[in-house]
Amino acid sequence: MTTLLEVSGVSVTFDGFRAINNLSIQVAEPELRAVIGPNGAGKTTFMDIVTGKTRPDEGRVIWGEKNVSLLGLSESQIARAGIGRKFQKPTVFEAQTVRENLAMALKARRGPFDVLLYRRSKTATARIAELAEEIGLSDALARRAGELSHGQKQWLEIGMLLAQDPRLLLVDEPAAGMTPAEREHTTDILKRAAETRAVVVIEHDMEFIRRLGCKVTVLHEGSVLAEGSLDHVTQNQQVIDVYLGR
């Protein structure tokens, strides 16, 4: 296990509100990590910083073996470096079919001319079929993504994430709006993905996190409050006070 992502001493202020306060997190490869914490703890902002959406006021975000700083890269460069993200609210391209959504996400060259001259290959078609199978949307490939149910959209987005074949998956509330059976399936997908890559999951649902059975980081007021196994952090008095006890 080597460190893939190292966030150290990062702080962000929005209009005087300190959303992230001297935050330091390390993620290894492969690893499955859950991030929990009360509302406003900075979980989503943490993902925004890693993916380049938000620029921190101070601190470092270091990526990969070559220790590249992500702070100098654009969102698309970070994505191409191997960081994929699933948003809290499922954001798929609703006007397009499931197949088109997956094809767009599929790992391939991203330049305009590459895409213009792109030709569907058998391997790509097979990979899309395989992904659709995994996310339970094999029968829906030709349907518009906008017609899917909330849970199916969540899965489509997870499928798009896997299609990118990233080294680090940042997954924001993957199980929101899912039935218990769907949740179980989602945990399976994430656990399998974490066998070969780094997966960071933000979740509120403790049952879901228990099933993931991984190291947990508790955020509070923009910094790490506790870190360790789920049992370890749930026994931490501070965690109980700010998060669990309410």
Partner 1 sequence: MSTPEIAPRRRFLAENPSVLWFLGCLALFTLGVTVLSEGFGLALISTSMVKILGMTLCLCLIAVAMDVVWGYCGILSLGHFAFFGLGGYAIGMWLMYARTQGIVVESLSATPIPPTDIEIEKAIASQIFGVVGSNELPWLWGFAHSLTLQLMMVVLVPGLLALVFGWLAFRSRVTGVYLSILTQAMTLALSLYLFQNDTGLRGNNGLSGLQNIPGLDHVPQSALSLWFFWASALALGLGYLVFAWLVSGKFGSVIRAIRDNEARVRFLGYDVESYKLMIFTLTAVVSAIAGALYYPQAGIINPAEIAPIASIYLAVWVAIGGRGRLYGAVIGAAVVSLASSWFTGGGAPNINLGFYTINWTDWWLVLLGLGFVAVTLFFPRGIGGLFDMIVRKP
- 8 Å CB contact between 25 and 200: no
29 or 172: CB nearest partner 1: 172
- 8 Å CB contact between 219 and 43: yes
Name the strands in the sheet holding 31-36, side by side, starting at the edge strand that comes first in the sequence: 83-86, 168-172, 198-202, 31-36, 215-220, 223-228
Question: How many residues contact partner 1, by CB under 8 A?
Answer: 35
The contact pattern for partner 1, residues 97-136, with x = CB under 8 A and - = no contact, is: ---x--xxx----xxx--xx-xxxxxxxx-----------
**Shortest approach of partner 1 to residue 152 CB, angstroms?**
17
Q: Cis omega (within 30 of 0) on the bond before 30?
A: yes
Burial 99-112 (b: 16+ CB within 10 A, else e): bbbbbbbbeeeeee
**Shortest approach of partner 1 to residue 56 CB, angstroms?**
18
- 8 Å CB contact between 166 and 82: yes
58 or 94: CB nearest partner 1: 94
116 or 181: CB nearest partner 1: 116
Q: What is the Rg, in whole angstroms, of the alpha carbon atoms belonging to the chain?
A: 18
69 or 76: CB nearest partner 1: 76
Task: Please tell me whether residue 115 adopts helix, strand or coil conformation.
Answer: helix
160 or 214: CB nearest partner 1: 160
Residues 55-94 that bind partner 1 (CB under 8 A): 74-77, 79-80, 84-85, 87, 91, 93-94
**Shortest approach of partner 1 to residue 79 CB, angstroms?**
4
Strand partners, 227: 217
Strand partners, 39: none
- 8 Å CB contact between 14 and 21: no
**Shortest approach of partner 1 to residue 90 CB, angstroms?**
11
199 or 239: CB nearest partner 1: 199
**Shortest approach of partner 1 to residue 163 CB, angstroms?**
9
Take residue 38 and report the two structure tokens written for it.
């009360």
Q: Which residues bind partner 1 (CB under 8 A)?
A: 51, 53, 74-77, 79-80, 84-85, 87, 91, 93-96, 100, 103-105, 110-112, 115-116, 118-125, 160, 164
